[in-house]
């Protein structure tokens, strides 16, 4: 059920600093969309598509795998750490661009990977800032929905912008220019973070704090697993669609027409996010999280029924509808169930989890498709996501204060048997 008295998006945007942080979000995500594209094109031009694929994989893995650790480090060191990481990353990307034309492709590949490994966690930090900027939960829901929608549109626009830039200059200069955008984004976010109220419990994350480094990782807690693992499964589903959609399109038309279905998938995410964010819901976040992933299952079933007809595009649009609400709910669950001093780390787990799941889904999708076909693959992946979301505890589990000896003792204990989410 929804509350018909819900304020509009305009009311949420009237909250002080909301528009500035949204603008910073666009500036922060443009490099994330432009840099991988620039790396792919520059390596393709100088070393061929095979080496370009290796460079792209190295970059994405270097960004995703240590992402939560970087977020945890920047939280413990303060906002200035974002700017430091941005400086390091820009320097390494510039060095990679300068050496790309060398005959030895291993050098720029290693530099690209090194640049990715220190990529500043701008988006997780921005997501964490919303909780501090908007304590009202209705405003928080709407701003996450609006921010996620803008994020989707930014990643649609980034390749188009990159193509236009490369039509005027060398791809290596496009890489340097894209990386340079990290600096104003990091500087702006650092300034904003310094003006926001401190996160509750932030005293436990001060530089040199022993308890801040001894607390177990978010992914080792039952709440962290319950929030993150469904997003990983969603990544598997999204990655699987990169091979499911062309295979389904080939059943009734030329494979090139699959581009329309990919556009419909993104459009579904935009529509679903805006529609979800404008309502106030009486049900719990856990219930909505389960319902949204169940909606993904319904979309996958529709795809299975229509995968041999031109109506595939409608089915893919329906799969896209719950995707943005799922992310919005995951961010809200982080705000509800994770200690506020650890929001950046938790949001980094969501981003890294989805990206790694998507990469695995793309890599394994072709093999699974040969065994199951699009009628079963998407349904199975979406079903796993719904089942894991349903296992999230009914109520938040209070995290013990890191200032107590008991909390420090528990942080060093191994995970109790049975706390891992089961698929």
Quote the pLDDT of residue 87: 96
Q: Which domain holds residue 127?
A: 2-197
Within-domain flag for 393: yes
* 294 and 399 co-located in one domain: yes
Name residues whose C-beta falls within 8 Å of residue 198's C-beta, 6 or more positions apart in sequence.
132
Within-domain flag for 204: no
DSSP string, 332-395: HHHHHHS-GGGHHHHHHHHHHHHHHHHHHHHHHHHHHHHHH-HHHHHHHHHHHHHHHHHTS-SS
Within-domain flag for 422: no
Reading the block at residue 213, the tokens are 């480094």
Reading the block at residue 292, the tokens are 């949204």
Q: Give CA–CA dist 418/349, Å, rounded.
A: 21
Within-domain flag for 57: yes
* 263 and 331 co-located in one domain: yes
* 18 and 127 co-located in one domain: yes
* 406 and 263 co-located in one domain: yes
Quote the pLDDT of residue 367: 64
At residue 96 the predicted structure's pLDDT band, cuts being 50, 70 and 90, is very high
* 223 and 189 co-located in one domain: no
Average of pLDDT values for 202-211?
A: 40
* 156 and 254 co-located in one domain: no
Within-domain flag for 138: yes
* 225 and 353 co-located in one domain: yes
Within-domain flag for 416: no
Q: State the chain's mean pLDDT as an integer.
A: 78
* 371 and 263 co-located in one domain: yes
Mean pLDDT is lowest, of 152-156, 262-266, 305-309, 381-385, for: 381-385
Q: Which of 350, 263, 239 is nearest to 312 (CA)?
A: 263
Average of pLDDT values for 43-69?
A: 86
Average of pLDDT values for 353-375?
A: 70
Within-domain flag for 203: no
Digit-coded pLDDT (tens) for 294-331: 888 888 888 778 777 778 888 888 888 988 898 989 98
* 166 and 307 co-located in one domain: no
| Total count of domains within the chain | 2
Q: Give CA–CA dist 182/87, Å, rounded.
A: 8
Model-level pTM? 0.73
Q: In this model, does residue 422 exceed pLDDT 50?
A: no
Q: Give CA–CA dist 30/157, Å, rounded.
A: 9
Within-domain flag for 125: yes
Average of pLDDT values for 225-246?
A: 78
* 140 and 278 co-located in one domain: no
Quote the pLDDT of residue 341: 80
Residue that finishes a domain, picked among 197, 232, 265: 197
CATH code of the domain in which 121 resides: 1.20.1250.20
* 75 and 169 co-located in one domain: yes
Q: In this model, does residue 165 exceed pLDDT 90?
A: no
Q: What is the largest CA-CA distance in the chain?
A: 65
Go through 249-259 and write b for each residue having 16 or more CB atoms within 10 A of its CB, e for each that does not.
beeeeeeebbe
* 193 and 341 co-located in one domain: no
């Amino acid at each position: 059920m929804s509350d018909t008295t819900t304020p509009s998006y305009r009311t949420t945007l009237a909250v002080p600093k909301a528009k500035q942080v949204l603008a910073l979000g666009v500036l922060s995500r443009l490099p994330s969309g432009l840099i991988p594209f620039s790396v792919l094109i520059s390596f393709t031009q100088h070393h061929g598509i095979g080496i370009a694929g290796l460079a792209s994989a190295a970059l994405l893995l270097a960004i995703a795998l240590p992402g939560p650790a970087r977020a945890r480090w920047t939280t413990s060191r303060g906002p200035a750490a974002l700017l430091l990481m941005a400086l390091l990353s820009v320097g390494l990307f510039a060095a990679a661009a300068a050496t790309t034309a060398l005959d030895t492709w291993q050098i720029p590949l290693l530099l690209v990977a090194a640049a990715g490994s220190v990529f500043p966690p701008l988006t997780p930090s921005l997501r964490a800032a919303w909780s501090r900027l908007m304590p009202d939960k209705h405003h928080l829901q709407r701003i996450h929905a609006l921010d996620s929608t803008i994020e989707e549109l930014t990643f649609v626009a980034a390749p188009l912008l990159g193509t236009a830039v490369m039509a005027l200059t060398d791809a290596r200069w496009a890489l340097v220019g894209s990386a340079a955008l990290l600096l104003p984004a990091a500087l702006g976010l650092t300034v904003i973070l310094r003006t926001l109220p401190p996160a509750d419990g932030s005293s436990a994350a001060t530089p040199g704090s022993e308890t801040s480094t001894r607390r177990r990782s978010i992914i080792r807690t039952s709440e962290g697993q319950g929030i993150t693992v469904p997003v990983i499964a969603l990544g598997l589903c999204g990655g699987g669609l990169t091979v499911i959609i062309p295979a389904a399109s080939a059943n009734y038309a030329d494979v090139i027409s699959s581009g329309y279905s990919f556009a419909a998938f993104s459009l579904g995410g935009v529509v679903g996010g805006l529609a979800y964010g404008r309502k106030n819901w009486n049900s719990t976040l856990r219930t909505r999280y389960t319902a949204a992933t169940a909606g993904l299952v319904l979309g996958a079933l529709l795809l299975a029924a229509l995968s041999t007809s031109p109506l595939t595009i409608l089915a893919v649009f329906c799969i896209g509808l719950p995707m943005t609400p799922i992310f919005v709910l995951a961010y809200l669950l982080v705000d509800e169930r994770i200690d506020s001093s650890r929001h950046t780390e938790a949001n980094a787990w969501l981003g890294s989890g989805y990206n790694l799941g998507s990469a695995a889904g793309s890599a394994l999708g072709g093999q699974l498709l040969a065994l199951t076909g699009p009628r079963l693959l998407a349904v199975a992946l979406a079903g796993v996501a719904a089942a894991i979301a349903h296992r999230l505890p009914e109520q938040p589990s209070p995290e013990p204060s890191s200032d107590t000896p008991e909390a420090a003792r528990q942080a060093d204990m191994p995970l109790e048997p049975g706390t891992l989410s089961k698929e």
